[in-house]
Amino acid sequence: MSGLAHYLEDEGLATVIVALVREHIVGMRPPRALWVPFELGRPFGPPGNTGLQRRVLSEALALLDQDCPEPLLRDFSEAVIDPGDDAGWRFPGTLDSDSLRAEVAGVSPVWQLARERIGRSSVGISGLAPESVAEFIERYHSPQPMPNPKGMARVSRARFAVDDIKAFYLEAAMAAGGHPSPRQLHDWFWGQTHAGALILEFQEMARVSEDGNLQLIAGSLVPAERTISFLRG
């Protein structure tokens, strides 16, 4: 995004970046950036906190009014308070299945409830049905892989399928509401589901693959701390 910001600025369009990785912004030196101390994937903070999200957006847009030399990098003005775990949160369904496919079948109706409650979903970027994304990854290296629909390279679809799997499970986890912490949700997904185990195994296969394109996506599938735990066994 920093490179794109430079390009747009050269074309006369003012830009502001909401940045999650401070080192990248310092190195790339985009014209204007607001660094925020949130976890990756949540540049405007935790979901559902509209007040905080508006404040982040307001501080970012305010950089456009700053009359000072570029590059301009500001830190978000509010301290981030860890909300802690929600002791009452439990996955609002059952995961007592002995296979990935059975687990996905059990999560699906819970995810449907979550989508109705929230009114939207981020599942679908792979172009595969929610019930098919896990199978696509599961069979990726099998002698009989799932057919890859036209319009997207197979490795790209695998990358987006992993994102769809994570969104499918984590959205389902919020079907009954509650306020589980990110750590709580990650512990549940990576430590207690067949889907989490599948992605960890797929990442390792991608890492040692002879397919250079597959190797390229290996580092972006699983949070670093989960990868280290997996490799340590």
Among 78, 74, 80, 67, CA closest to 25: 74
231 pLDDT higher than 70: no
Percent of the chain whose predicted confidence (pLDDT) is above 70: 94
The pLDDT assigned to 159 comes to 95
Nearest alpha carbon to residue 180 among 48, 15, 30, 16: 48
CA dist., res. 233 & res. 227, Å (int): 10
Burial of 124 (0-12, 13-18, 19+ CB in 10 A): middle
User: What is the pLDDT averaged over residues 207-211?
Assistant: 92
Mean pLDDT rounded to a whole number for the chain:
88
- How many Cα neighbours within 13 Å face the side chain of 211? 13
Going by C-beta distance under 8 Å and a sequence separation of 6 or more, which residues neighbour residue 58? none
Q: How many CB atoms lie within 10 A of CB 92?
A: 15
Which pLDDT band holds residue 35 (cuts at 50, 70, 90)?
very high
Position 56 confidence tier, pLDDT thresholds 50, 70, 90: very high
Secondary-structure percent of the chain, ordered helix, strand, coil, rounded to 5: 50, 5, 45
17 - beta bridge partners?
33
Residue extents of the structural domains in the chain: 2-75, 100-232
Split at pLDDT 50, 70, 90, the class of 10 is: confident
Binned at pLDDT 50, 70 and 90, residue 232 comes out as low
Point out the least confidently predicted range of 56-60, 93-97, 198-202, 212-216.
Answer: 93-97
pLDDT tens-digit readout, 117-172: 889 999 999 999 988 999 999 999 999 999 999 999 999 999 999 999 999 999 99
Answer whether 164's CB lies under 8 Å from 125's CB.
Answer: yes
Q: 142, exposed or middle or buried, with CB in 10 Å at 0-12, 13-18, 19+?
A: exposed
Q: Is the dihedral of CA 211, 215, 216, 220 positive or negative?
A: positive
